[in-house]
Amino acid sequence: MISSRPLRIGPYELSSPFVLAPMAGVTDGPFRRLCRSFGAGMTTSEMTTADTRLWQSAKSRHRLDLDLDAEPVAVQIAGSEPGQLALAARACVDRGAQIIDINMGCPAKKVCRKAAGSALLRDEKLVAGILTAVTRAVDVPVTLKYRTGWDREHRNAVHIGRIAEDAGIQALAIHGRTRADRYRGEAEYETIARVKQSVGIPVIANGDITTLEKSLEVLRLTDADGLMIGRGAQGRPWIFRELKQLLDPLADSTQLGKRELRDIMLGHLDGLHRFYGEQTGVRVARKHLTWYCQHLDGADDFRHRVVRVDSASEQLRLTKQYFLGIEESGTQEQEGRRKHTQDKRKEAAL
């Protein structure tokens, strides 16, 4: 059973214990808004460098386009220098951030080469310095996202969790893999459960949570206060609506109709085109279209064509055309079944 205790981060009680994981290159403004429309309890900006000198780039400007209409406004920052991270946190708060999340979970080589992300887990003294510097720098809640350790021989998530709590961190999100695992193999949840038993702040479980059944299993295994959904939401933002039904089995059906799915995709595409401009928006939309196609029937030809066009109008036209084809196919199938039934009745009458 899902715990009835609310998920609270500082003064903010989340509307749902199911939150969207910050993912660089994925959880931009349009995608965050879409996931919130399906009930995500919190969405966090894409990971942003703590080096504020780089914030003038187009990429950073998009990543720092905050959802000021959605409370709490959460921003994730990454870096390896306590002072730099503290300054970045204050700058984010000045822009409207209500929660600062520190990334110590990213396994990407380009991040770890700078001793940031999950590379920090090798230096617990530096971890403590960073967390203390940031929590002292801002008056808003600071959270930490991290992994179970650097490698399987050095799983130190429990100790890091205690360091974080002592430093004033107000919630932990833990991915059930080490940095060395990257995204290979299966996530393990025993370490997350041990962290939950060792700290008094909320713990959010993350890693391989892609189905309702897996969600229930992870909650049972970890006793976590919430779940963080990452790759499970790619091409399937409605997973948050399905998860929320776990809290209220008597709620209306979450079955997704073809027309609703069409409108979701068209709205998402339009949002991306507007947010980035046509050229970049079309390019960014291609990966989302690929993920959507994993949940569509007979979409191989559609996917092959739609990811190769260069205009927003063509992406929208091909998407409408695909769903029109589904409707026509469904109508023909219904007509075939109706005619078959009529023929059977005629045969019986004879």
The residues assigned a catalytic role are: 106
Amino acid at 209: I
The answer to whether the CB of 48 falls within 8 A of the CB of 63 is yes
The residue among 240, 206, 203, 295 whose CA lies nearest residue 37 is: 240
Q: In this structure, are strands 142-147 and 171-175 parallel, antiparallel, or unpaired?
A: parallel
CA distance 16 to 207: 18
CA distance 176 to 186: 8
Q: In this structure, are strands 12-13 and 8-9 parallel, antiparallel, or unpaired?
A: antiparallel
The structure tokens listed for 266 are: 């068209």
Strand partners, 13: 8
The answer to whether the CB of 314 falls within 8 A of the CB of 255 is no
DSSP label of 13: E
The residue count for the chain: 350
Reported as type and span, the H/E element at residue 193 is helix 190-198
For 111-157, the DSSP string reads HHTTT-GGGGGG-HHHHHHHHHHHHHH-SS-EEEEEES-SSTT---H
At residue 308's C-alpha, the angle toward residues 282 and 331, to 5°, is 95
